[in-house]
Chains A and B, each alone.
Chain A
């Protein structure tokens, strides 16, 4: 792996910060960027992309259905076409992107893993291996993507905006990770960092130690810059919005393949409808992704964001005005150059006969085929390269990028 020199100029820039914010990274040659947003917990996609033409939806959710869109209302669900509407909670954010044709949704999306277990299904998606084969926990699909793109210009420069390295990035030779939720000053000076690095020379954690110390300095530096920047809006962003803004800064200037996860979607009890816990979580996510798009500036046109979750939830509400673990979900595809404004992929009428096991949405758009198709178009991957990322699957071309 090539050694970054974050340390050296990191400190130089810290010392010289008063003389004005210097751009740390040369703006890279334009090229695709990709961010995977993983909603852990299985978000209730049926109350995000609402099948409002289905009476069965309203029968199945007497307490938590979201009202049909009303063209006179500017705050209710947003009709996308004759069958689907978007949750009111994201109307102003993701809805606005959809109207600008920068957002598309893929219902009936997911995996063939029918365990309906959070952990099992999250793992299988992150690994992205054929379900029939024995699992290799050292090989995730973003790791394989980074490997496949390695050595080409511009380098993929992967990064995970998480406390722990996600399984999805396993197998790449080096992927730095750092949650951007709480970042303080860098704790070590250059000499101390060198001693710590030397202590792990030849150890199997050598790269992790070096990447960790480097990235920590780099991000502390960027945030120092953020504070100094006079042009920064006075709005006090927080939570996922602040995180998303920082992610966008790092991805604008350097990193090209990113991963972040967002929790709190396991709504077994009292999930609410137009308002309530699910709506609040969706609203925060929508605002964050909007900030992400804005902060990227012109690089938003080179960026594709895909939002996934391990499974959808039961079509019917349960006994507690919530929903239990289901199967098919709705994925989102966002980006400045995405051919959006569409609900894409194979679909079926939403009725009882079309449910899987009389319980939840079937999967008609396999996640490996969907993501494989996106990657192929974004990076012009060959058939061999596609197979290296998602083995034994035919990439699905949804014509979104």
Chain B
């Protein structure tokens, strides 16, 4: 995991493993006098039972997952990279560990439909506004606000639990990637009530599917329509916010060959695309067939500009929502779109400045497959360019926090995700927390400044020093006996981490005065922070 080690390293020697074991024994002696139990040398951590892991394979696994755990390491060992990847590219197959699977299914099933949400909210606002000023009114406002927070936190809880425990780790990374690519901010308008549904219905079903479907699903979702103001975009009242970001951030990239004219033309195409939670409007006869409604999504011809548009050099005949489908089709088939999306993917999975030849091949695959995301990923994740870049990617906060929990609590299911959210907040990358529509940055430059490094060490300490309530109930109740700090010097550590540690980390670990400190140093090490 240290970027400065040569990229091919022989399998761990028994000597190294014994050093690790000896360290742990020394540990027990040191910690013997303390109230806290020291790390136990796992009975099975003997040289004889250890499979031989290649460092490159482990680093590769770190890229296609949110971090190694015993299950994924074992699966990769059994299957090899290509078969492992092909299983991952099929999306969710294996069930979640019980009882988590049931809980997640219940969360999704219980999630209110956006149309209901918006109708209820509107009624509730009306009721509260009609109340006389005073304590009751404040109370009602607060209750509504609490409800919004609760729903957004449920969506975050679901995302974090899936990131840690989903067997389909690549799919989960893609859900994160697309949520970030089509970023929305929970504190705008009433998005807190909608972000859960946005993940469920706009992002997750298409995470490994076709790019055009993904764009259209976000375009038709009330969360995006409110976030970038297109619900306010109507003929004679143009709001070009979404039209611009749809091309700049979602599809073509800022140098993707479109002009201010194109932004204005696309904004005209998008007039009338909005949301509704009331009965369809009364429309002129010739418009009635053009009206569209799917839940809270609405295309209202009365708000649409029916003139012809000239977008990216092509005339789009004014005729209703079909224009939107045509425009999105036109945009996502531009070579600039294939290149922009390929480059973004490679920046997240391969390197901050990805090799041009790899991006070229991904671009070709994207165009040839009409934007089949799984095919582009396959091209990228089996490429020699990825192999050459392993060990050099700095973990963004989400990868850092999730990989820490996967590693530190391997085999134990946490019950409360609030501490993870606190850590992500502290590091500046909370889900649905990006205020601007560009999403969080994907490169080391944005996450490894001096202030961010010291903050990361603080979080490493928080993770390493106690369970921080990860095993409490969601309501904050503590079941008792579940606390204590994690045992990072576990079997996985000796099998998959210790053999490859750099000298700096080794030295720091040897100087630790307690298991908590040892944990902190390991999580703070360059070895753990690069993949």
User: Are B239 and A320 in touch, CB under 8 angstroms?
Assistant: yes
Tell whether B234 is near chain A: CB-to-CB under 8 Å.
yes
User: Are B254 and A209 in touch, CB under 8 angstroms?
Assistant: no
User: Are B240 and A208 in touch, CB under 8 angstroms?
Assistant: no
Interface 9-mer from A114-122, A238-246, A362-370: A114-122
The residue on B at minimum CB distance from A184 is B458
Q: Which residues of A have CB within 8 Å of B455?
A: 163, 212
The residue on A at minimum CB distance from B229 is A268
Tell whether A44 is near chain B: CB-to-CB under 8 Å.
no
Tell whether A107 is near chain B: CB-to-CB under 8 Å.
no
User: Are B240 and A324 in touch, CB under 8 angstroms?
Assistant: yes
Cα–Cα, bound, A324→B243 (Å): 12
Encode contact with B along A63-86: 1 for CB under 8 Å, 0 otherwise.
Answer: 000000000000000000000000
Q: Which residues of A have CB within 8 Å of B52?
A: none
User: Are A179 and B451 in touch, CB under 8 angstroms?
Assistant: yes
Q: Contact check: which of B237, B254, B263, B521 meets A195 at CB < 8 Å?
A: B521
Cα–Cα, bound, A205→B457 (Å): 13
User: Are A205 and B448 in touch, CB under 8 angstroms?
Assistant: yes
Encode contact with A along B500-529: 1 for CB under 8 Å, 0 otherwise.
Answer: 000011011001100001001100111000
Encode contact with B along A155-176: 1 for CB under 8 Å, 0 otherwise.
Answer: 0000010111100001000111
Q: Smallest Cβ distance from B526 to chain A, in angstroms?
A: 5
> Knowing A117-B248, A165-B449, A208-B449 touch, does A199 contact B526 (C-beta < 8 A)?
yes
Q: Smallest Cβ distance from A319 to chain B, in angstroms?
A: 2
User: Are A120 and B239 in touch, CB under 8 angstroms?
Assistant: no
Cα–Cα, bound, A322→B233 (Å): 12
Cα–Cα, bound, A115→B435 (Å): 21
The residue on B at minimum CB distance from A314 is B240
User: Are A187 and B451 in touch, CB under 8 angstroms?
Assistant: no
In the complex, which residues 196-236 of chain A have their Cβ closer than 8 Å to any Cβ of chain B?
196, 198-203, 205, 207-213, 215-216
Tell whether B428 is near chain A: CB-to-CB under 8 Å.
yes
User: Are A199 and B450 in touch, CB under 8 angstroms?
Assistant: no
Tell whether B72 is near chain A: CB-to-CB under 8 Å.
no
Q: Which residues of B have CB within 8 Å of A9?
A: none
User: Are A164 and B428 in touch, CB under 8 angstroms?
Assistant: yes
User: Are B428 and A163 in touch, CB under 8 angstroms?
Assistant: yes
Tell whether A192 is near chain B: CB-to-CB under 8 Å.
yes
Q: Which residues of A have CB within 8 Å of B241?
A: 268, 324
Cα–Cα, bound, A318→B244 (Å): 15
Cα–Cα, bound, A42→B454 (Å): 31
User: Are B517 and A192 in touch, CB under 8 angstroms?
Assistant: yes
- Interface size on B, as a range, is 35 or more
The residue on B at minimum CB distance from A194 is B511
Cα–Cα, bound, A209→B454 (Å): 7
Cα–Cα, bound, A320→B233 (Å): 8
In the complex, which residues 90-143 of chain A have their Cβ closer than 8 Å to any Cβ of chain B?
114-120, 137
Q: Which residues of A have CB within 8 Å of B452?
A: 163-165, 177, 212
Residue from B4, B232, B438, B517 with most neighbouring chain A CB atoms (10 Å): B232
Q: Which residues of B have CB within 8 Å of A116?
A: 244, 260, 263
Q: Which residues of B have CB within 8 Å of A178?
A: 450-451, 454
> Knowing A165-B450, A211-B450 touch, does A187 contact B237 (C-beta < 8 A)?
no
Q: Which residues of B have CB within 8 Å of A266?
A: 436
Encode contact with A along B430-467: 1 for CB under 8 Å, 0 otherwise.
Answer: 00000110100000011111111111011001000000
User: Are B454 and A320 in touch, CB under 8 angstroms?
Assistant: no
> Knowing A117-B244, A203-B504 touch, does A164 contact B447 (C-beta < 8 A)?
yes
Cα–Cα, bound, A207→B453 (Å): 10
User: Are A212 and B453 in touch, CB under 8 angstroms?
Assistant: yes
User: Are B504 and A201 in touch, CB under 8 angstroms?
Assistant: yes
The residue on B at minimum CB distance from A40 is B436
User: Are A196 and B232 in touch, CB under 8 angstroms?
Assistant: no
Q: Smallest Cβ distance from B373 to chain A, in angstroms?
A: 24
Tell whether A269 is near chain B: CB-to-CB under 8 Å.
yes
Tell whether A150 is near chain B: CB-to-CB under 8 Å.
no
Q: Smallest Cβ distance from A384 to chain B, in angstroms?
A: 29
Q: Which residues of A have CB within 8 Å of B524?
A: 196, 199
Q: Which residues of A have CB within 8 Å of B448?
A: 205, 208
User: Are A208 and B453 in touch, CB under 8 angstroms?
Assistant: yes
Cα–Cα, bound, A212→B448 (Å): 10
Q: Which residues of A have CB within 8 Å of B446?
A: 164
Tell whether B236 is near chain A: CB-to-CB under 8 Å.
yes
Cα–Cα, bound, A306→B425 (Å): 30
Tell whether B238 is near chain A: CB-to-CB under 8 Å.
yes
Q: Which residues of A have CB within 8 Å of B249?
A: 119
The residue on A at minimum CB distance from B261 is A357
Q: Which residues of A have CB within 8 Å of B526?
A: 199-200, 203, 205
User: Are A215 and B450 in touch, CB under 8 angstroms?
Assistant: yes
Q: Smallest Cβ distance from A226 to chain B, in angstroms?
A: 19
User: Are A269 and B239 in touch, CB under 8 angstroms?
Assistant: yes
> Knowing A114-B260, A164-B446, A177-B449 touch, does A325 contact B454 (C-beta < 8 A)?
no
Q: Which residues of B have CB within 8 Å of A325?
A: 240, 244
Encode contact with B along A313-335: 1 for CB under 8 Å, 0 otherwise.
Answer: 00000111010110000000000
Q: Which residues of A have CB within 8 Å of B263?
A: 116
The residue on A at minimum CB distance from B249 is A119
Encode contact with A along B239-262: 1 for CB under 8 Å, 0 otherwise.
Answer: 111001000110000100000100
Cα–Cα, bound, A213→B458 (Å): 10
Tell whether A276 is near chain B: CB-to-CB under 8 Å.
no
User: Are B450 and A212 in touch, CB under 8 angstroms?
Assistant: yes
User: Are A200 and B504 in touch, CB under 8 angstroms?
Assistant: yes
User: Are A319 and B236 in touch, CB under 8 angstroms?
Assistant: yes
Tell whether A56 is near chain B: CB-to-CB under 8 Å.
no
Q: Which residues of A have CB within 8 Å of B520?
A: 192
Q: Smallest Cβ distance from A255 to chain B, in angstroms?
A: 13
Q: Which residues of B have CB within 8 Å of A268?
A: 229, 239, 241
Cα–Cα, bound, A199→B502 (Å): 9
User: Are B239 and A324 in touch, CB under 8 angstroms?
Assistant: yes
In the complex, which residues 115-148 of chain B have their Cβ closer than 8 Å to any Cβ of chain A?
none
Q: Smallest Cβ distance from B476 to chain A, in angstroms?
A: 22
> Knowing A114-B260, A268-B239 touch, does A199 contact B525 (C-beta < 8 A)?
yes
Q: Which residues of A have CB within 8 Å of B461?
A: 187-188
User: Are A198 and B507 in touch, CB under 8 angstroms?
Assistant: yes
User: Are B453 and A199 in touch, CB under 8 angstroms?
Assistant: no
Tell whether A62 is near chain B: CB-to-CB under 8 Å.
no
Q: Which residues of A have CB within 8 Å of B254?
A: 115, 117, 119-120
Cα–Cα, bound, A195→B248 (Å): 44
User: Are A177 and B451 in touch, CB under 8 angstroms?
Assistant: yes
Tell whether A380 is near chain B: CB-to-CB under 8 Å.
no
User: Are B451 and A176 in touch, CB under 8 angstroms?
Assistant: yes
Q: Smallest Cβ distance from A369 to chain B, in angstroms?
A: 24
> Knowing A137-B445, A176-B450 touch, does A199 contact B240 (C-beta < 8 A)?
no
> Knowing A269-B229, A269-B239, A320-B239 touch, does A196 contact B449 (C-beta < 8 A)?
no
Q: Which residues of A have CB within 8 Å of B435?
A: 263-264
Q: Which residues of B have CB within 8 Å of A210?
A: 450
Q: Which residues of B have CB within 8 Å of A201?
A: 504
Q: Which residues of B have CB within 8 Å of A195?
A: 508, 511-512, 521
Q: Which residues of B have CB within 8 Å of A174?
A: 450
Measured CB to CB, the residues of B under 8 A from A are 4, 229, 232-234, 236-241, 244, 248-249, 254, 260, 263, 428, 435-436, 438, 445-455, 457-458, 461, 504-505, 507-508, 511-512, 517, 520-521, 524-526
20 further A-B contacts with Cβ under 8 Å, apart from A120-B248, A199-B521, are A41-B436, A115-B254, A116-B260, A119-B249, A119-B438, A137-B445, A160-B451, A163-B452, A187-B461, A195-B512, A196-B521, A203-B526, A212-B453, A212-B454, A216-B451, A216-B454, A269-B229, A318-B238, A319-B239, A324-B241
Closest 8 CB pairs of A and B: A319-B237, A212-B454, A165-B449, A212-B450, A211-B450, A177-B451, A178-B451, A199-B508
Measured CB to CB, the residues of A under 8 A from B are 40-41, 114-120, 137, 160, 162-165, 170, 174-179, 187-188, 192, 195-196, 198-203, 205, 207-213, 215-216, 263-264, 266, 268-269, 318-320, 322, 324-325, 357
A-B contact pairs, 7 of them (CB 8 A): A116-B260, A119-B254, A164-B428, A164-B447, A195-B512, A195-B521, A269-B239
